[in-house]
Amino acid sequence: MKSKNLFKILKSKRFKSIKLDNIIESKYVLKRSGGSYKQFLFSFYDQNQKEWSLVPDLSVNSAVKFINNNIKTKTKWFYSGEAFRKQNKNINSPVINQTGYEIFAGDNKYKDDKEIIQTSIEIFKKSKFKKGELNISNIEIFNALVDRLSLAPRWKDRIKRHFCREAYFNQLLNKLSSNTDINPIAVEKDKKIAEKFRKQDPNTLYSGRTLKNILERFDLKNYKEPRLETDKKNVNTIKDYLKISCRITKAPEILNKFFKKNKLNLFISDDYFPVNKNLKNIKINFSTNINRSLEYYSGMVFNITVAKKGKKNVLLSGGRYDGLLKNLGSKKNINAVGAAIDMSML
């Protein structure tokens, strides 16, 4: 598919073309990523010692532009350009050619999610690929599941927050289920040391932290929210959930059976997902384990995969990220959903 044909589809859906800068203040990227993107940035400082970066992800620039323009109404944008990330084992080139399309400030999430997915399906149908798979999930289901487990609040927060960092996420689950990071002898020794510190001035600083803060954190871990005997069972529930993969038409039934089996107060209706039937030449699946590399997704997520040179590749991917704009500086929460196409695949 040529770019002009892709743009024609987006314009027919009333997405407006916008121009984005190739650089962005590094603080915006780091706010969005919590620092996990820092290792991939091409950064530099200007004469005022302000740090800038080549854009690693066009969606951030788009969100910043929406905030800076102080737009109050529903807005549909599309853009095309290059993003830049330092190479790692998963990236063949530091230059990523993307086309993205987004809906900001919509008041009907289900309708907007469906529009982004339907637009993506139409783009696939006009591409050179004859067959593909549309994979859909929702981060809200995972978060709701974790909230209903008998885990300490701090562990619930950590598990949800690090869902996008798969390797570290797995380390957290292993720690929680095995307690291999806890040395009982060392814990008892630390408790005795803590009792001695309680007699000191609570405002004393140790490595930039007050003694009061250190002891509060120590008490939280060891007395208020200690590890529970049920943690291993809860970890197994999370791992079993992340194995669920099925046709979208079966997803509500399979999920509800899983929730009932694990005594979780959750229910998924038959019309929960913004697409619930299979289409010609494209299989529609539900998968709990997709699009986990991006930390800002907050709801529906999806991708379309195709076969290229005997391997499965992601043609485009997207999802909902309602918290992103406030994290970047917006004074209020703004609904947002969108997708991006890897132009090298077309």
118-122, 164-168, 265-269, 290-294: the lowest-pLDDT one? 290-294
Question: How many residues are given for the chain?
Answer: 346
Residue 310 in this model has a pLDDT that exceeds 90: no
Mean pLDDT of 332-340: 95
Residue 112 in this model has a pLDDT that exceeds 70: yes
For residue 203, which of 191, 187, 193, 216 has the smallest C-alpha distance? 216
**Residues 280 and 333 occupy one common structural domain:** yes
* pLDDT in the model for residue 272: 95
Overall domain count for the chain = 2
pLDDT tens, residue by residue, 139-157: 999 999 999 999 988 899 9
**Residues 320 and 185 occupy one common structural domain:** no
235 Cβ contact list (under 8 Å, min separation 6): 173, 176, 177
* pLDDT in the model for residue 91: 56
**Residues 251 and 164 occupy one common structural domain:** no
**Residues 86 and 119 occupy one common structural domain:** yes
Higher pLDDT pick, 316 / 206: 316
Domain end position, chosen among 236, 253, 272: 236
Higher pLDDT pick, 35 / 14: 14
Confidence bin at 224 (pLDDT 50/70/90): low
**Residues 334 and 248 occupy one common structural domain:** yes
pLDDT tens, residue by residue, 20-67: 998 998 888 776 655 556 777 899 999 999 999 998 889 989 999 999
Q: Domain range for residue 282? A: 3-145+237-345
CA angle 132, 335, 146 (to 5 degrees): 75
**Residues 326 and 298 occupy one common structural domain:** yes
Residue 286 in this model has a pLDDT that exceeds 80: yes
**Residues 173 and 322 occupy one common structural domain:** no
CATH of the domain at 71: 3.30.930.10
Residue 86 in this model has a pLDDT that exceeds 70: yes
Q: Residue 319 is encoded by which pair of tokens?
A: 């999802």
* pLDDT in the model for residue 225: 64
Mean pLDDT of 209-238: 81
Confidence bin at 327 (pLDDT 50/70/90): confident
* pLDDT in the model for residue 31: 67
Q: Are 300 and 317 in contact (CB under 8 A)?
A: no
* pLDDT in the model for residue 57: 84
* pLDDT in the model for residue 38: 72
**Residues 133 and 154 occupy one common structural domain:** no
**Residues 241 and 141 occupy one common structural domain:** yes
**Residues 181 and 66 occupy one common structural domain:** no
* pLDDT in the model for residue 37: 64
**Residues 10 and 103 occupy one common structural domain:** yes
Q: State the first-to-last Cα distance of the chain, in angstroms, to the nearest integer.
A: 6
* pLDDT in the model for residue 10: 97
23-27, 40-44, 114-118, 294-298: the lowest-pLDDT one? 294-298
CA angle 141, 116, 60 (to 5 degrees): 85
Residue 99 in this model has a pLDDT that exceeds 60: yes
Domain end position, chosen among 196, 218, 236: 236
**Residues 127 and 247 occupy one common structural domain:** yes
Of all residues in the chain, the percent with pLDDT exceeding 70 is 92
65-69, 181-185, 266-270, 332-336: the lowest-pLDDT one? 181-185
Domain end position, chosen among 236, 268, 295: 236
* pLDDT in the model for residue 215: 82
pLDDT tens, residue by residue, 173-207: 998 888 666 666 676 787 878 888 888 888 988 88
